[in-house]
Amino acid sequence: MVKKFIKEAVSRSAESDDDGRKLTSMTDPTNPGAQSPDGSGPSDATILNFALNLEYLEAEFYLRATTGQGLPDEMTTGTGTRGEVTGGGMVNFSNPVVRTFAREIASDERQHVAFLRSALGEHAVSRPAISLDTSFTAAATAAGLIKPGEIFDPYANDLNFLFAAFLFEDVGVSAFKGAAPLLSNKTYLDAAAGLLATEAYHAGIVRSALYNEGMIDDAVFAGVQKLSDARNSLDGPVDDDQGIGTSAEANLVPTDADGIAYGRSAQSVLNIVYLNAGPTNSGGFYPSGLNGDLAMSGGAAS
């Protein structure tokens, strides 16, 4: 099904047969087309492998929350060092609505991994080591969501799951928004636009669910804002991350003054997932770093 979808996507988005053939040829690092047009930026394949690393994290998080199991082994191999996943467990959802949309998101994220792996072929990176336990505690502690010495379990209940999902979803949207202009091939750009749209739907669902929780318990609004502020403290000097508002005024769609969603550079995204505001190549949710050429986070000016 995935391979058929890819062929159909190429057919729809390519303006010519030659453009369609680039979907495969541009993943070959020996092909000049694998470089950015001016040779100064990352290749399309490098950008897609960066996205694949992020999709591995989201897929493992949601699949374990909804099924108790992660990606099958055959979907985690590739170039670079294949890592294990620590933590994760099936959530005993009390709200059937949250359980239902969590399952749908899990399915989408699994398909994203399958799509990117098929598009990249033998050049797809393997799943890196992923932390779904101590990383969440570190993030929640830094945000002030819990006190030092306490443990944050994202799989303990519906609200913890939603807080954890919020950490990821807005980052995914801003990552694809930031990466899209760097893609040189229109076929890849079409696929990236589709992935961005899906991630935006996911983020909207999670933000809306948290808003509903906030209308029941006002402390939820403060908790979300703490997580947003924590992300904002990691990704550089620009104050663009946003919470979900208050009971009096919702902010379900985080945009700028023109109503446009903001993007992040790959380096700023890595600052967040590494839980480190400085330059580093590992940490946080990726204890051994990402696989691929985009693995170093930025500094204070990223």
Return all residues near 157 (Cβ < 8 A) that are at least 6 apart.
91, 92, 94
The DSSP-derived string for 241-285 is ----B-SSSB--S-B-TTS-B----HHHHHHHHTT-SS--S-BTT
CA–CA distance, 249 with 221 (Å, rounded to integer): 11
Using 70 as the pLDDT threshold, list the residues of the chain that sit under it. Answer: 1-40, 300-302
- Domain range summary for the chain, segments of one domain joined by +: 2-12+65-273
Amino acid at residue number 145: L
Are the C-beta atoms of residues 133 and 86 closer than 8 Å to each other? yes
Strand (E) positions, the chain?
85-86, 130-131
Q: Which of 292, 301, 298 is nearest to 49 (CA)?
A: 292
Per-residue pLDDT of 73-103, as tens digits, reads 999 999 999 999 999 999 999 999 999 999 9
Are the C-beta atoms of residues 143 and 229 closer than 8 Å to each other? yes
CA–CA distance, 243 with 221 (Å, rounded to integer): 8
What pLDDT is recorded for position 239? 81
CA–CA distance, 175 with 141 (Å, rounded to integer): 24
What pLDDT is recorded for position 40? 62
Per-residue pLDDT of 108-135, as tens digits, reads 999 999 999 999 999 999 999 999 999 9
Backbone angles phi, psi at 198, to 5 degrees: -65, -45
